[in-house]
Chains A and B, each alone.
Chain A
Amino acid sequence: SQQGEEDPQALSIQEGENATMNCSYKTSINNLQWYRQNSGRGLVHLILIRSNEREKHSGRLRVTLDTSKKSSSLLITASRAADTASYFCALEWDKIIFGKGTRLHILP
């Protein structure tokens, strides 16, 4: 069945470094979305990339989509303490499915 698989499950990096997390899936999608969830807060949408797009940017965020490999990556550049959160990919086709998330911890 369709499911987003994030990799890695957890990631710790030093402040200022770049963080990369990946999402793989199995079948065709209409779009792929990335969300962030800070501790104690709700989910916030970061970027939506459609199946006919290959790359999108938003501030320090860069998302790529490779439909031939059925994978996407989220890059956060120049990480900050406030980036500490869980990051989820969500696949949209005739419904929407979230992955289990990557827990990112930014070390001071």
Chain B
Amino acid sequence: DVKVTQSSRYLVKRTGEKVFLECVQDMDHENMFWYRQDPGLGLRLIYFSYDVKMKEKGDIPEGYSVSREKKERFSLILESASTNQTSMYLCASSSYRDEQYFGPGTRLTVT
């Protein structure tokens, strides 16, 4: 079975802190994605990557950066956390143009 794991289920950070969210997949997928999910807004794509060291901006990249140094790992970085980044963060992976497999999510609260 495909497994996508995220480093934390729940995270509480203070405004201005640097936050790292990590995602690891074990199926040798080329593609990895970071989304945030907010009530009434659905899933919004933050960044995605189609290969190692490659990244593309999604619909809402402002305030975020990503890193993909290894194929199986895709990290989301909040350089200076703000309260409007309080959200559920979901990581996913897929093979080329195929179904996405999602991790369990990280619920981040920024106070």
Contacts and interface: CB of A to CB of B under 8 A. Distances in A.
Contact count band on A: 20 to 34
A32 to B, nearest CB: 11
A54 to B, nearest CB: 19
B62 interface: no
Contact of A95 (B40, B58, B102): B58
A45 interface: yes
Contacts, number: 46
Contact of A30 (B56, B59, B97, B99): B97
Interface residues of chain A: helix, strand, loop or mixed (majority): strand
Contact of B100 (A41, A96, A99): A96
A98 B102 contact: no
Contact count band on B: 20 to 34
Contacts of B59: 97
24 contacts: A31-B97, A41-B104, A42-B90, A43-B43, A43-B90, A43-B92, A43-B100, A43-B102, A44-B102, A45-B99, A45-B100, A45-B101, A88-B42, A88-B43, A90-B100, A92-B97, A96-B33, A96-B45, A96-B48, A97-B59, A98-B35, A98-B43, A100-B40, A100-B41
Interface of A: 30-31, 33, 35, 41-45, 48, 88, 90, 92, 95-101
